[in-house]
Amino acid sequence: MISKASVSGFRMPAEWEKQESTLIAWPHNKDDWPDRFDYIPKVFAEIIAQISKVQKINLLIQNKSGKLGILKLIKEFKGIIKNIFIIVKKTDRVWTRDSGPIYLINKNKTKKIILNWKFNAWAKYKNYLNDNSINKTIIKLKKLKYINPKYKIKNKVKDIVLEGGAIDVNGLGCLIATKECLLNKVQERNPGLKKNEIENIFKSYLGIKKIIWLNKGIVGDDTHGHIDDIARFISKDKVFLAYEKNQKDRNFKTLNENYKILNKITDQNGKKLKIIKIPMPKALYIHRTRVPASYLNFYIANKIVLVPVFNDPNDKIVLKIFKNYFKKRKIISINCLDLIWGLGAVHCMTHQEPALN
């Protein structure tokens, strides 16, 4: 039986902790990649194939009729088909990082529960009802206990909106987010909630002790400031941080400010964090629109790290940094020149499920 749960004694694990599976939705919405959609299924097939070699994948597809063609394409990229579990579930978009479930685990890693946050397409797009019901599908499938996080405002009880790409954690009680995404009136997710109330939500539901607020995200990000393009924990005390050298670039000021903030701040234990600067690729435009190309939108899976690359001179430099800091994982580059036209990359389209002991 599926029931509501208590979060007492639970925490949100870090991405590098052992995973049971990855949630991915197969692409179908051509409006997300105008004029380039035909290239997108192959990018997804490559990413799915790489992950399937190290862990299970729960793959959401629109209808049964597409199954054989999808698996055939994944096979072409040498995917391990027995590790791919097909779920027929309609979606609006593919960005499961934001629409998929956030898991909590208990201290001994013997239990996990799902937080069923509301998803409203970044308070930007009107079609999100299919994506907002992904969590219910997973809860039913996994037979896990769950919680619907809520807040009260003006005597009304509302579901709390939160996307996975809006937060990053070290698994020990420290969380990074941006003010632009969660404290701004533009694309406001939870109208009426103040900073201290949002912090209390993180503490109450995610087991967080310290919240680090950076200012803004990067230019071209339609989520309005997601953290997973600019700052990512790679261990309990190390953070990869997007950095722009070119003072004329529109991201320069923002990323420099973020560096100054992070440089002064401490973690949940009052200790300084080690910051590793990750250079940005040069400004990338598709049909005269600047897209949010960033190396920070990587995904850590079991034994591998998938890193977005953009045919940019900094690709090699960045991959070298990743190899230096992820010595026990294989670094795999994924060409995201087409994928980024959908305004997301590898991290945006993946969502991990933690493993239990």
- What tens digit of pLDDT does each residue of 57-112 get? 999 999 999 999 999 999 999 999 999 999 999 999 999 999 999 999 999 999 99
The DSSP secondary-structure symbol of 53 reads T
Q: Which of 23, 24, 26 is CA-nearest to residue 37?
A: 26
> pLDDT value at position 139?
97
- The CA distance from 102 to 92, in Å, is 19
With a CB cutoff of 8 Å and minimum separation 6, the contacts of 341 are 33, 34, 36, 286, 291
pLDDT tens column, 300-317: 999 999 999 999 999 999
What percentage of the chain exceeds 90 in pLDDT?
A: 96
Active-site residue numbers? 348
The CATH topology of domain 10-354 is L-arginine/glycine Amidinotransferase; Chain A (3.75.10)
DSSP string, 253-274: HHHHHHHHHHHH-B-TTSPBPE
Nearest to 48 by CA among 16, 91, 95, 81: 81
Low-confidence stretches of the chain (pLDDT < 70) are: 1-5
